[in-house]
Amino acid sequence: MKNSRRHFLQKLTGTALAMTVIPHLGLAKASGIPDEQPYNGPILRVAIMGLGSYGSRVAEAMQACKKAKLVGVISGTPSKIKDWQAKYSIPEKNCYNYENFDKIKDNPDIDAVYVITPNALHHDQTIRVAKAGKHVICEKPMALNAKEGQEMIDACNNANVKLLVGYRMHFEPHTLEVIRMREAGDFGKVRFFQGLCGFRIGDPGQWRLNKELAGGGSLMDIGIYAVNGARYMVGEEPIWVTAQETKTDTGKFKPGVDETIQFQFGFPGGALASCLSTYNMNHLDKFFLNGDKGFAEMQPSTGYGPIKGRTHKGELNQPVVVHQTVQMEEMSDIILNGKQPLVPVDGQEGLRDLKILDAIYQAVKSGKKIDL
């Protein structure tokens, strides 16, 4: 029974299909997975800013949420606003553009704005949303550097609104199981983490390859998963960083836009991390954690799923979830009910990653070991 269920789950690729089927398998009890119980609690009413590829994915996933609902949009593209209004029944009064969205402060029907725009815009947009008195969920990387990140945290504190970062893996069941096992001592003393994150990037004209909008290259976009993953898998904060950059295509990857960076961390307990971030290789989505008593291996480790993995005790067999659905259910609880997630997703968590990203770039530039 267990094996056939696993086999069945592994065959699920369509996320909507997964959401439809899993409750009937009796797996809905696992953290945050929408089930068929009626829900009468508060609902987080969300406006999405930036109706691009990831914004569209979040909107789709939110349709299965009970505790969060898409009620508004902020976009620079009028035709997308019309399409989203029709698809998600969004009233005209909840539609804004980048010039007028400060007026959202006068809109009592929106609780939070989810900022899903290019990285360089997160800082100013988050501060404007905070000043409008709305909670902010901001995509990763939270900002271009730690200074900007701190300013965003300060603005949200001053406005008495919450700031969360879209770290969807912090709610993913296989990931949480590995963290639980580590905390239970199943791996013994943790000695080593390896994070391999990358893909071959296409269109050279896209914002991800524009330093002004991306703030860097692969490290800001995909390498951040290894930075963040090293921290939640090892369960400590790194105390030093070394890093090396390799560039094979200087036409596509202009100055300030990294193609490939390898970086290493040292942790206070003695563990080491060795990571690769690249825009030049496919099939790179793998975490490996090694301790005195055992190991965990995840591949894929941070893609949209299904996440797969095994430990020295056997295959990980957690429920397959739509990451963004579970994330928004949990973030509703965090914002509206003050729930504390197992792995933080607040502005401070985003800032910790930004400090490390700053140090990695500094290490590349100087060729030196950077203490954190």
Residues assigned a catalytic role: 140, 225
CB 345, CB 170: distance < 8 Å: yes
Min CB(251)–ligand NDP separation in Å: 21
Which two tokens mark 313?
A: 């005790």
According to CB under 6 A, which residues from 80 to 139 bind ligand NDP?
A: 80, 116-119, 121, 139
Among 238, 228, 323, 239, residue whose Cα is nearest residue 277: 228
Whichever of 51 and 331 has its CB closer to ligand NDP, that residue is: 51
* Residue 182 or 231 having the CB closest to ligand NDP: 231
The yes or no reply on residue 221 touching ligand NDP (CB under 6 A) is yes
- Member of 23, 52, 235, 344 binding ligand NDP (CB under 6 A): 52
| HEC string for 110-155 | CCEEEECCCHHHHHHHHHHHHHCCCEEEECCCCCCCHHHHHHHHHH
Q: Which two tokens stand for residue 38?
A: 């009626």
Least distance (Å) between residue 75 CB and ligand NDP: 3
Binding mask 168-207 for ligand NDP (x = CB under 6 A): x--------------------------------------x
Alpha helices in 281-346 (DSSP H): 323-337
**Using rule CB under 6 A, residue 55 touches ligand NDP:** yes
- If one asks whether residue 50 binds ligand NDP (CB under 6 A), the answer comes out as yes
Determine if 23 is a binding residue for ligand NDP (CB under 6 A): no
Q: Among 14, 26, 42, 76, which residue sits at the site for ligand NDP (rule: CB under 6 A)?
A: 76
- The answer to whether 274 touches 360, Cβ cutoff 8 Å, is no
CB of residue 311 to ligand NDP, shortest distance in Å: 24
Minimum CB–partner distance for residue 119 and ligand NDP (Å): 5
d(CA 225, CA 192): 17
Comparing CB distances to ligand NDP, the nearer of 125 and 260 is 125
Read out DSSP for 61-114?
HHTT-SSEEEEEEE-S-HHHHHHHHHHHT--GGGEE-TTTGGGGGG-TT--EEE
Q: What character string, x for contact with ligand NDP (CB under 6 A) and - otherwise, covers 140-169? A: x-------------------------x-x-
Read off φ and ψ for residue 20, nearest 5 degrees: -75, -40
Q: Which is nearer to ligand NDP, 76 or 269 (CB)?
A: 76
Are 143 and 167 in contact by the 8 Å Cβ rule? The answer is no
Please, what is the minimum distance in Å from the beta carbon of residue 243 to ligand NDP? 20
Q: Is 352 in the site for ligand NDP (CB under 6 A)?
A: no
The answer to whether residue 77 forms part of the interface with ligand NDP (CB under 6 A) is yes
Pairing of strands 284-291, 295-298: antiparallel
Smallest distance, Å, CB 331 to ligand NDP? 12
Closer CB to ligand NDP, residue 126 or residue 264?
Answer: 126
- Residue 108, preceding peptide bond in cis (omega within 30° of 0): no
Q: Which helix (H) or strand (E) is 192 found in, with range?
A: strand 190-198
User: 320 to each of 39, 67, 312, how far by Cα in Å?
Assistant: 22, 20, 21
Which residues are near ligand NDP by CB under 6 A? 50-55, 75-77, 80, 116-119, 121, 139-140, 166, 168, 207, 213, 221
